[in-house]
Structure 1
Amino acid sequence: DLYLHHAVKLAEALISKATYFRMEEEDLSKNECIGYFTRMTDADLFRWLNSSKIDFVREYASRIRYRRLFKVALSRPLVSFEPDAKKKLESMLGDIKALIEAERDLSEELGSVVLDMVIPELGDKELRKIPLLVGGEQGFDIVSLDETKEGRPLVHILKQQTHTIPSVRVYCEPTIASKVCKRFDEIYPMSDIPSYREDEYDLTEY
């Protein structure tokens, strides 16, 4: 739950994107990046980000430091989208350039919108085969989790969550949320038959 919390995911996205633009700004090589980040402490990282000449990079660092994060404008499971839109969104996972380009499509002001893909590794395939020592009338035996009466419901829930948890989230200031959401709906249409419940948020509070 902590990993999936909006504040955690947004802070991760802000740091990742601020760092990406800072690296581009300094035109760092791969070896230079490795050298930088193997030596940096958290304090070093934020000092480095705050020294950027790019306004929103400094803004991102300040938002995290002073807890002035963007608000959640939209959060939808990937299963809610049309196949082409779903495929396009899934392709952005781990591709920061694609995410940044998608953010530019949502707002003309660079850095005013953060788009994040939430597709955690739930480990359902590994968990279902966890060996358990169980006892019965015939003595003790070792069986997989998904072969036990108690384990099958857990495995079933994990399997369901691999379809319901993967989602896309859009963060921005409340003042532009309506415009951003409208643009998002135009670019990424949803399926006709809703198979999800869209989360609703009070953009005045976190």
Structure 2
Amino acid sequence: MDKFTTVQGIAAPMPQINVDTDMIIPKQFLKTIKRSGLGVNLFDEMRYDDDGQEIADFVLNKPQYRDAEILVAGDNFGCGSSREHAPWAIKDFGIRCVIAPSFADIFFNNCFKNGILPIALPQEVVDVLMKDAEKGANARMTVDLEAQTITTSDGEVFSFEVDAFKKHCLLEGLDDIGLTMEKAPAIEAFEAQAATQRPWV
């Protein structure tokens, strides 16, 4: 998993509330178990019409937001089913941070496991960030995980809270497998001892 330290980039505004995981990545794209290749179908039903053509006024289709790395979203983002494909699609598109007033719990935790930083902030703070994001490609926002701050394009700084363990995992690029591999020497020592004590197993 890629390490997350600081992201300085374009923030896309998506003020809709209750954006669920089926809106993030519709069910027809859940056949793959690969984490790559889903970015093109992120928000598929909002991005494309019935003929597969881009809908020009959808935020991520606008030229100024095609390279967005931050998403400023509405309340209850990521609700619905627990599909892990949702953060896979967000990450594959290039978004590393999602800011919203609240998140569905399973989606929130899945983000951390896939190298995405979800930040929950009061609505009044999200409103300020949303307005900053609406300025387009010239308004670059900075998210600093180590300092736990968000800096707007105008230099306004907001602090955010993050669980210390989840912060450590993002900073070090550790998913569940990576965390297990940190214990590899202890696991190997245990297996060697077990093989000696119980050779019949």
Of structures 1 and 2, the one with the larger relative CO (CA 8 A, separation 6+) is: 1
Structure with the greater alpha carbon radius of gyration = 1
Q: Which has the higher helix share?
A: 1
User: TM-score under structure 1 normalisation?
Assistant: 0.28
